[in-house]
Amino acid sequence: MINFYQFIPEIFILTLILLTLCFGLFNKDRSIAINTLGFFILTLILINFGRDFYISTDLPLNTINLFVLSKIILSIGSFVFILLSKRPLKNENLYRYEYILFILFAILGSFVLISSDNFLTAFIGLELQSLSLYLMAAFNTKNLKSNEAGIKYFSLGALSSGFLLFGISMIYYDTSSFYMQNLNNFTTISEIGLSLILISLFFKVSAAPFHIWTPDVYEGSPTISTLFFASLPKFASLIFLFRVYQELNISGIQSLDYIFQIVCAISLLVGVYGAITQKVIKRLLAFSSINHIGFMLLGIMCYQFMSEGTLFFYLIIYLITTFGIFAVLLNLRTVEGEFTKISQLNGLRFTSNSKSISMLVFFFSLAGIPPFAGFFAKFFILSASITDGFFFLSIVAVLSSVIAAFYYLTIIKNMFFNKSEIELLDDNNKIGKVVFISFGLIITLYFFYPDPLFNLVDNLFK
């Protein structure tokens, strides 16, 4: 008898999908209202009863906490995202109810991916997520670049899914099981299979050298879709990567461990070197996200030292910062349409106090300059990595963050020192404003009172 208790969050989202399918066709506004309310309720349910859902399973408490916390974060993220998405979609004439459906399917896929014990389930979750993402990238059908982004993302994503399936089948050949816990004794075949699975996951989180799709897709897609790619699905894939690393004890297998370390170092470096010369802000953010993925992989690797805590903390801060930056970007428009170039930020200081100061906070936080929360996120990752003896990677990480500081400073320079050249239209989106101001405050005030955020993460891993 299958215990349906543990599927309640997924079933909840499925219900939301059905409701959206029913109502969305007739009333788009109502479907957005239903979904925001739905995710709000889901967050509350998960916070209060999250652990009870999994109690009947024989999973270790740590894993249950991991599921619950990441699902809470995903559902809060979706709540904020759906709230944010309405206005930008309207501006781009993309306000169609299918978009909300794609978000829901992607989130459903992420939920499945996070809590799957079985490689096939993980594959289904990942595909459900990815297919929605391809559509979201190509959603602006009248724009050539958006189409290009969708096709690029789809073809490369299909390739990586192929890798994933191939890897899974190799493991099945070796162990005749799809379950992760049955994979204990590694033969060469399952090592190769696992490395193929890792490659596919690296592709999903856009770790270098599997990052080629990232800048183009980020640039071409509508900005609101870019925000989604940069935040929630990536978060889910990272959590799954973390689970694979931890549950299969990859640090014990030397060849795979090397792959992990090399990918981490290359991501750190490729991210910063790619970003230096970028002129389009979304491309820059794409490369900067590659650099941050490097940090997160470093966090995944050193799990002896309360790693869930440090990794989660980094992820939360990174999500908050990403949401904040994109909320500002979505609030800005040029006469021609979406805001794209970094130089269009010139003189933002003179036109808008709240936006420029929030951006200052977010970018200094991404650069890891204290007293902003981004510094502490990096600090804890580095603490973990140094305690675990990853000296070389730590040095690469800090030096890459010095180079990263250069391009973050360039953006701040544009906003604060330069005179504006073109007129930026203020979208005056109230929700966006609330989001970036409150997230900016979280990032700043963390220094004065670190307990709540830290305890939240910490308590879940007792």
Partner 1 sequence: MSFPILSLLILTPIIGALTLSLSSSSQLKNKTIFLSGLWITTGEFLLSLLLPIFYDKTKNGYQFTEYHTWFDKFDINYYVGVDGVSIPLILLTTFLVPICLLCSLNSIQNRAKEFVIYFLLLESFIIGVFVSIDLVIFYVFFEAVLIPMFLIIGIWGGENRLYATFKFFLYTLAGSVLMLLAIIYIISKVKSGNIELISDFTFDQQIELILFLCFFASFAVKVPMFPFHTWLPDAHVQAPTSGSVILAGVLLKLGAYGFIRLSLPFFEYASIYFQPMIFALSCLAIVYTSIVALRQLDMKKMIAYSSVAHMGFVTIGIFTLTQDGINGAYFQMISHGIVSAALFLIVGVVYERHHTRMISDYSGVTNVMPKYSFFFMIFMLSSVGLPGTSGFVGEFLVIMSTISVSVYLTFFTAIGVILGASYMLLLYKNVNFGDLKTDIKQLADLTNIEIFYFSCLAFLTMFLGVYPKLLFEMINKSISTSIL
Q: Which of residues 381-400 bind partner 1 (CB under 8 A)?
A: 382-383, 386-387, 394-395, 398-399
Nearest Cα to 69, choosing from 37, 53, 46, 52?
46
What single letter denotes the amino acid at residue 256? L
Shortest approach of partner 1 to residue 308 CB, angstroms?
13
Stretch that binds partner 1, among 238-246, 320-328, 404-412, 419-427 (CB under 8 A): 404-412
The residue from 379, 427, 434, 438 that contacts partner 1 (CB under 8 A) is: 379
Shortest approach of partner 1 to residue 277 CB, angstroms?
15
**339 vs 329: CA distance, rounded Å:** 7
Q: How does 3-37 read in b/e, with b if 16+ C-beta sit within 10 Å?
A: eeebebbbebbeebbebbeebbeeebeebbebbbe
Stretch that binds partner 1, among 149-157, 229-237, 254-262, 370-378 (CB under 8 A): 370-378
Cβ atoms of residues 270 and 347 within 8 Å = no
Shortest approach of partner 1 to residue 245 CB, angstroms?
22
Contact between 406 and partner 1 by CB under 8 A: the answer reads: yes
Contact between 284 and partner 1 by CB under 8 A: the answer reads: no
Cβ atoms of residues 392 and 462 within 8 Å = no
Binding residue count for partner 1, defined by CB under 8 A = 30
Nearest Cα to 169, choosing from 119, 126, 125?
119
Q: Chain-centre distance of CA 450, in angstroms?
A: 23
The residue from 89, 107, 300, 306 that contacts partner 1 (CB under 8 A) is: 306
Neighbours of 394 (CB within 10 A): 19
Enter the tokens of residue 386.
């140094």
Shortest approach of partner 1 to residue 206 CB, angstroms?
25
Cβ atoms of residues 84 and 223 within 8 Å = no
The residue from 121, 434, 454, 456 that contacts partner 1 (CB under 8 A) is: 454
Cβ atoms of residues 374 and 317 within 8 Å = yes
Q: What are phi and psi of 332, to 5 degrees?
A: -105, 140
Nearest Cα to 379, choosing from 285, 322, 305?
305
DSSP character at residue 426: E
Contact between 401 and partner 1 by CB under 8 A: the answer reads: yes
Shortest approach of partner 1 to residue 383 CB, angstroms?
5
Contact between 456 and partner 1 by CB under 8 A: the answer reads: no
Stretch that binds partner 1, among 90-98, 154-162, 291-299, 401-409 (CB under 8 A): 401-409
∠ CA(148), CA(150), CA(151), 5° rounding? 65
Closer residue to partner 1 (CB): 189 or 445:
445
Contact between 173 and partner 1 by CB under 8 A: the answer reads: no
Closer residue to partner 1 (CB): 24 or 294:
294
Contact between 447 and partner 1 by CB under 8 A: the answer reads: yes
Closer residue to partner 1 (CB): 60 or 370:
370
Closer residue to partner 1 (CB): 66 or 405:
405
Contact between 162 and partner 1 by CB under 8 A: the answer reads: no
Contact between 369 and partner 1 by CB under 8 A: the answer reads: yes
**211 vs 293: CA distance, rounded Å:** 11
- Written as one string, the DSSP assignment of 298-336 is HHHH--TTTHHHHHHHHHHHHHHHHHHHHHHHHHEE-SS
What does the binding site for partner 1 look like in residue numbers (CB under 8 A)? 306, 309, 364, 369-371, 375, 379-380, 382-383, 386-387, 394-395, 398-399, 401-402, 405-406, 409, 412-413, 416-417, 447, 450, 454, 458
